[in-house]
Amino acid sequence: MSASAAARLPVIEVFGPTLQGEGRMIGRRTMFVRLAGCDWACSWCDTPYAWRPGALAPVERLGPEDLLRRLGALGPDCRRVTLSGGNPALHDCGPLVGALHEGGYLVHVETQGSRAPAWLGAVDTVTVSPKGPSSGMAPDWPGLGATLAVAADPDLKVVVFTEEDLAYAAEVGRRHPGVPLTLQAGNRVGEDDADSLLARLRWLADRALGLEGMGDVRVLPQLHVLLWGNRRGV
């Protein structure tokens, strides 16, 4: 396989500019590159079209030059790019990260913390989002630790639906006290609307305010869902 072919990535969608809706970078203008494939299967995943058989959206194989052209055409004045999925850590994004930096972009990555490729250390920021019990996935403490060890300027984000998720988030914070932690009110696509999301956010805020060890935690919604609903391209 040629170097050019090896650098091509399975892309589900490229969109923006939009506002980052989650984690420490919430509210920042960004472009998005969403990659196909995931090594987990969370019960409440809000992007099943990026990985689930039968729901997988069309995939384009694009190299760094292709993506730079696409990003420049969509948002010529937006110089931040978020790599998301699925799980972008499944792929060798090193050549893309290098090309984005050469093109004047800041690069942010979103991953669940199950894989720790070396290129995560070359980006600008990484949001690591381990999944709690409501996801149906078992905790991967070694994977999370390895990802945080290699990731550039990491922060943690735990999606919370239940008391069990909240207890899991507290354990994540206890194990990694030096990493900024965000609690995000969960969102079930096809079930939740703005009223139910705000009610869950209020419950989470009340619980987090009274929970020991949560002194420096952030409590946030999915901003883009409150603004534009559960749809692609935002």
pLDDT per position as a tens digit, 123-147: 999 999 999 999 999 999 999 999 9
Comparing 3-12, 92-101, 167-176, which segment has the lowest mean pLDDT?
A: 3-12
Q: Kindly indicate the confidence band of residue 2, based on its pLDDT and cuts at 50, 70 and 90.
A: very low
Average pLDDT, the chain: 93
Whole-prediction pTM value?
0.93
Dist CA 221 CA 224 (whole Å): 9
> How many other C-beta atoms are found inside a 10 Å radius of the C-beta of residue 191?
9
23 falls in which pLDDT band (50, 70, 90)? confident
pLDDT at 5: 66
pLDDT at 6: 62
What are the CA-CA distances from residue 41 to residues 78, 167, 175, 216 (Å)?
A: 32, 21, 24, 30
Q: Distance (Å, rounded) from C-alpha 131 to C-alpha 46?
A: 13
**CATH H-level superfamily of 3-228:** Aldolase class I (3.20.20.70)
Would you give the DSSP letter of residue 229? Answer: -
Structure tokens at 18: 């939009």
Rounded mean pLDDT, 112-129: 97
Over residues 184-223, the pLDDT tens digits come to: 999 898 888 899 999 999 999 999 988 877 778 999 988 8
CA 37 to chain centre: 13
Q: Cβ contacts of residue 215 below 8 Å, gap of 6+?
A: none
If one counts every other C-beta atom within 10 angstroms of the C-beta of residue 51, the result is 23
Task: Quote the CA–CA distance of 92 and 7 in Å, as a whole number.
Answer: 7
Q: What percent of the chain has pLDDT over 90?
A: 80
Q: How many CB atoms lie within 10 A of CB 54?
A: 5
Report pLDDT for 4.
58
